[in-house]
Structure 1
Amino acid sequence: MTKSQETQYESSGAPIRISGISKTYKELTVLDSVDLDIRGGEFLTLLGASGSGKSTLLNILAGFVKPSGGTIEVDGVDVSRLPPHKRGLGMVFQHYALFPHMSVAENVAYPLKRLGVPKAEIIRRVGEALDMVDLGRMANRKPTEISGGQQQRVALARAIVFRPRVLLMDEPLGALDKMLREQLQLEIRKLHKDIGITFVFVTHDQDEALTMSDRIALLKDGQIVQLGTPEELYNAPSCRYAAEFVGVSNIFQGSIKNSAFIDGQHAREFKLPLGHAKEGTGLMIRPEHMRVSPAGQITNTIHDQIGATVEDCIYLGSSRTVQARTDAGALLIARTEVPRSPDGIHAGAQIQMHWEAADARVLA
């Protein structure tokens, strides 16, 4: 980014307050009185499965869907009843919505022409926006003459060219292949840091949310079940749904009794981590904290352990994933670094899976 671009985008994005937003279609409740404060300049992701309400919430924020109740404030101004074009928000859709008969530069210039910006100013700002997404050299090409990833960059340039203080993105990377998707995740994250405006991003991809976000709002059945940083959602999920949706988890079901966790399926007693919740119905151990040893080799008394039979051992380059099943039928997963993987771990092998109490989490 040039010095002039830094000056233009040095102000932070607008804060957003979502208060009591509900949406019902006949008897179906899509959003159930959602409250959410989005900080000015942050990258917030709305994460959830299909039907969780995340895209509906984004479209209500954009003004494309009318809420059944509640209000939305952008920078302290109630925009709940304003049409989309008067809210001053940028929007990037999943399918880009580029005009095929226009050049890249003409597509980016379109919102400025609608606003009546002088021609010389349009040329300057389009050039700056295309440079920010590294497409200045392709200004005269048509959308059909560039790749899918480049088309997505054009859509981003068009969304920021009129300098909104909020940018909304509805699964914009969903149509791209894995490698290109991962590349653009990092580019969008960098763009956010460069221009400093508020980003609200919708995805069902947990890895995408963890990679890009300052905070994540996890939705289920029209409600936010957890709001926090990527580290908070991954390391301290608030409930079983959060533990299973964000990352892979080994979860024992049971209850807390006498300062221990009683696993109902295996009739075993496991140690609890310090500062654990007073009540809980699940004990979670992430695969990277689950260790594996051949049966009979564990003597470390600080580890909890359980016997299992290896069903599969998957080589992933730098790591190896071990899937094993206990006698009670529970499938457990461990992920180990390849140089540290013990010998004798193969399909059919009898093993001990073990972990430290400090690495476990009680699910309230």
Structure 2
Amino acid sequence: MTAALETTSTQTSTGAPISINAVSKKYGDNTVLESVDLDIRAGEFLTLLGASGSGKSTLLNIIAGFTRPTAGTVKVDGRDITSLPPHKRGFGMVFQHYALFPHMSVADNVAFPLKRQKVAKAEIQQRVAETLELVELGHLGGRRPSELSGGQQQRVALARAIVFRPRVLLMDEPLGALDKLLREQLQLEIRRLHQEMGITFVFVTHDQDEALTMSDRIALLRNGRIVQLGTPEQLYAEPNCRYSAEFVGASNIFTGTVQGRSFIDDVSGQSYRLGEAADQSGRSLLVRPEHLNIAPADVPVPDTVEQVEAIVEDCIYLGSSRTVQLRTDAGQRLVARTNVPRTPDGVVSGARVHAYWDVRDACVLD
């Protein structure tokens, strides 16, 4: 259901900024959120990403008004709404389970919040028609939800949440019940809707690929705190800690110490050069799979790269790419990702290879 039944029909589709200040939530002795600060820009697509129990859905519910924070404030356009009930916040809300009325047609489901607002009948018909066209369901307004696919039902839920032209749309894992292909299609459709409408989207997911695909910025949560906030490119290419590197994308991480411009691996004792001076307190060296190259053991590699000897444990064909799983002589597990035409001959299970990378493609993490 929508959380915005008392907004006026004059609301524009311009996004609203949201400011979350020192928000905490406790249930007895259990702290779910701990002093979270987050400024969401007007009109941006911000994703709250994290594992189960990280606090992302709790934070969304606090923004929506379904949950009261133990401490802190939530402001929209500078106005404190912390104590405002959900139906007075003017937000659209889409849940994982569509919550459609089975006895109503698609058009009546979408019209429901407008009827509650007592919008004129002619305007309701116009808005419903426009919104169904926006989500590409204009030809299905007369059907019942049971006659639709899962993806179509989710589009109806989206249409119902945006028909009253909210300034903020909140989505709590709305694609979680869909199969992979449909999920990927709707990711692009939701992103298109955001670009066309220009309102503020706050999206919750535990799926890193979904977050990378859809977001302007991502807030990665862990144990009730924001670990890193940035663009998808920043979280993937410039993780600020080991947790970010491991959660967002596949990773090859060596544990050790920084000594000058070298990294000493704790497991193998091997020294790897660094492309630039690194924080001496760094304890991890990250090499993404697409930056880890492979060459058969009898093929020399340039002196300008860093390398480690390994055995190929598995080579997985993925269409346009291959994932190669490796084990170093010290027992470390590594993974490389190569384009199919670039995979060297002789890289098969059991083969001995050099795994190597350009020093500029590795980074030291706190």
Both proteins in one fold, TM over 0.5: yes
- Does 2:283 match 1:281? yes
The answer to whether the 8 A contact 1:16-1:38 is kept is yes
Q: Match for 2:361: what amino acid?
A: D
1:299 Cα deviation after fit: 3.5
1:319 Cα deviation after fit: 1.1
Q: Match for 1:123: what amino acid?
A: Q
The unaligned stretches of length 5 or more in structure 2 are: 1-9
The answer to whether the 8 A contact 1:9-1:196 is kept is no
- State the partner residue of 2:96: 94
Pairing partner for 1:85 from 72, 84, 87: 87
The unaligned stretches of length 5 or more in structure 1 are: 1-7
Distance across 1 between alignment mates of 2:262 and 2:299: 24
* Structure 2 counterpart SS, 1:150: helix
Q: Match for 2:141: what amino acid?
A: A
- Does 2:71 match 1:41? no
Matches within 5 A, 1:140-159: 140-159=142-161
Distance across 2 between alignment mates of 1:67 and 1:135: 38
The answer to whether the 8 A contact 1:21-1:71 is kept is yes
- Cα RMSD over matched residues? 1.2
1:176 Cα deviation after fit: 0.3
Q: Deviations over 1:72-128 (max 9, x none)?
A: 001111100000000001000000110000000100011111111111111111111
Q: Deviations over 1:269-328 (max 9, x none)?
A: 111122644431000000000000111423411110000111101111111111010121
- State the partner residue of 2:61: 59
Q: Deviations over 1:250-273 (max 9, x none)?
A: 000001012211111110111112
* Structure 2 counterpart SS, 1:242: helix
Matches within 5 A, 1:67-146: 67-146=69-148
- State the partner residue of 1:31: 33
- State the partner residue of 2:313: 311
* Structure 2 counterpart SS, 1:47: strand
Distance across 2 between alignment mates of 1:141 and 1:221: 44
1:338 Cα deviation after fit: 1.1
Pairing partner for 2:256 from 254, 257, 260: 254
Matches within 5 A, 1:259-274: 259-274=261-276
Q: Match for 1:314: what amino acid?
A: I
The answer to whether the 8 A contact 1:9-1:195 is kept is no
Matches within 5 A, 1:199-348: 199-274=201-276, 276-348=278-350
Distance across 2 between alignment mates of 1:278 and 1:327: 27
* Structure 1 counterpart SS, 2:350: coil
Distance across 2 between alignment mates of 1:10 and 1:320: 48
Distance across 1 between alignment mates of 2:279 and 2:228: 16
* Structure 1 counterpart SS, 2:204: strand
Q: How has the CA–CA distance of structure 1 residues 254 and 180 changed in structure 2, closer, same or farther, with 3 Å as cutoff?
A: same
- State the partner residue of 2:354: 352
Q: Report the more deviating stretch, 257-266 or 181-190.
A: 257-266
Distance across 1 between alignment mates of 2:358 and 2:91: 48
Distance across 2 between alignment mates of 1:34 and 1:273: 35
Q: How has the CA–CA distance of structure 1 residues 331 and 232 changed in structure 2, closer, same or farther, with 3 Å as cutoff?
A: same
The answer to whether the 8 A contact 1:89-1:167 is kept is yes
Identity %: 66
Distance across 2 between alignment mates of 1:328 and 1:31: 40
Q: How has the CA–CA distance of structure 1 residues 238 and 41 changed in structure 2, closer, same or farther, with 3 Å as cutoff?
A: same
- State the partner residue of 1:186: 188
